[in-house]
Amino acid sequence: MVTDNAGGDAAVDGRTETPTERADRNFNELLQELRVAQTGVQILFAFLLTLPFTQNFARITEQQRTVYLGTLIATALATSCLIAPVSRHRLLFRRRRKPELVDEGSRLAIAGLAFLLVAVVGSVYLVFDVVVDTGVAAVVAGAIGAWLVLIWYVLPLLQRRKLPREDPGRVTRS
């Protein structure tokens, strides 16, 4: 009998992989996901890094400056978390640590997305505060933040609760 990683019939999803093959696949999937997130973070980071060198930056309020700096820090932290799995992989290359790299990379990706969420909310707040006013900025940034929390964390966690936990020690060929 061949079973998949979640204990189901492998014929259903077509996967008959060893733990090493599964770790390789999981790591490749993680890298693809990180590429998507990194692109957005890098664009946001580059934009934020250029703002202080514009003429109008000197006119922002102290509160706006604080939001800007917090947003910049959140973006830097998101960048570090989303790039860290690649660095860790390079430094631990050929050390037979792929399953650990997948687990650690997954945690870093989740943290990176949390920092990105803060950065997006801060950026939206800052733009609306400058263009409209502080009250509208708070409402719009709060709504965007709530939306991101919902689609990035709440809905996936609710779905995850309904799914059986994968047994990482299960051999998929028998």
Which pLDDT score, from 0 to 100, does residue 171 have? Answer: 44
For residue 111, being part of any structural domain is answered with yes
172 within some domain? no
Residue 167 exposure: Cα atoms within 13 Å on the Cβ side: 9
Q: How confident is the model at residue 10 (pLDDT cuts 50, 70, 90)?
A: very low
Global confidence as pTM? 0.79
The single-letter DSSP state of residue 174 is -
Lowest mean pLDDT among 22-36, 87-101, 119-133: 87-101
Give the CA distances from residue 37 to residues 28, 80, 149, 151, in Å, rounded to whole numbers and listed in that order. Answer: 15, 12, 16, 15
Whether 5 shows a pLDDT value over 80: the answer reads no
- Residue 145 structural domain: 10-162
- CA angle at residue 11 from 10 to 16, to 5 degrees? 45
16 or 97: which carries more pLDDT confidence? 16
Angle, helices 98-131 vs 134-149, to 10°: value is 160
3 domain-assigned: no
Beta strands in 76-146 (DSSP E): none
Per-residue pLDDT, averaged over 144-171, amounts to 84
With cut-offs at 50, 70 and 90, classify the pLDDT of residue 14. Answer: low
In a domain, 5, yes or no: no
pLDDT at site 81? 95
**How many domains is the chain built from?**
1
85 found inside a domain: yes
Cβ(81)–Cβ(109) below 8 Å:
yes
**Is the model's pLDDT at 163 over the cut of 70?**
yes
Asked whether residue 147 is assigned to any structural domain, the reply reads yes
CA triplet 113, 153, 144: central angle to 5 degrees? 75
Mean pLDDT for the chain overall: 85
